[in-house]
Amino acid sequence: MLLVIDVGNSNTVLGLYRGEELLRSWRITTDTSRTVDENAMLIHELFRLSEFHFTDIADVIISCVVPPMLTALEGLCRQYFKLKPYIVGPGIKTGMPIQYDNPREVGADRIVNAVAAYEKWRGSLIVVDFGTATTFDYISARGEYQGGAIAPGLGISSEALFERASKLPRVEFARPPQVIAKNTVNSIQAGLFFGYVGLVDGIVARMKMEARDEPRVVGTGGLAEQIARASESIDAVDPCLTLEGLRIIYTRNTPSNQSESAPRRSQ
């Protein structure tokens, strides 16, 4: 089986594939203070609860935007899986031309999302990923990554509001009953929720104008479902887009059915 790992600034998502089938996924907190052994214990326990074992893993591919985590995960793969993992970055085949001033600056997760979205929809696309930062990425009809925009994530925005405005309470992120709210909690929710929906729709509209195109808009990440229900621009939501992109990139860098064969042991 293939273990795919997507390391974000706030959360790390793991997925276990048999061929093209996603058997199970897990979301854990990204913690750079965890050692190789601590990460191994955590993943071992997640596997055990789902009746999987380390010996089931034939290969591993990692996308990471937190460099200290990458070192720990590479150590985990070598020590516990006896594998050298594939790392999404310079030198790996993605099958997608990167039309960016410096391709090395593009976050691995953005490329992985773009690859998965284009493989699934085969047309021009805007991928909106709701994470610690919210990223907007445009892929041309020819399957070229053209660039995009980065905005503060909703969590960052709300924390800044609570920290800087001493009288405002922390509130649950939720859609309030109306924009013209009648109490403080709903007022904050209205500003956060509808303000963020407006940000998404506004950036998408400007990207479409610049591209002179009508791309499909795909949302992914933790808040994608909530925002999509109120957004006028998001056409589809795929919560597993990044995991699927990792699987696709893995297949482009290995012989067919590698994840079904005996583990590729490190030397």
Q: Is 17 helix (H, G, I), strand (E, B) or coil?
A: strand
* Residue type at 94 in one-letter notation: T
Q: Which two tokens stand for residue 5?
A: 């790992």
Residues in a beta bridge with 138 = 126, 147
Yes or no: say if 4 and 246 are a contact pair by the CB < 8 Å rule: yes
The residue annotated as part of the active site, out of 56, 59, 101, 109, is: 109
H helices, E strands: number in the chain: 7, 10
**How far is residue 207 from each of residues 41, 155, 220, measured CA to CA in Å?**
44, 24, 18
Element (H, E) at 125: strand 125-130
Compute the Cα dihedral for 261, 263, 266, 267 and give only its sign.
negative
Maximal CA-CA distance, the chain: 65
Residue among 29, 2, 31, 33 at smallest CA distance from 17: 2
- Over the range 213-225, which residues count as b (16 or more CB within 10 Å of their CB) and which as e? bebbbbbbbbbbe
- SS3 letters for 137-176? EEECCCCCEEEEEEEECHHHHHHHHHHHCCCCCCCCCCCC
Mark whether 235 is an active-site residue.
no
Catalytic residue positions, numbered: 109
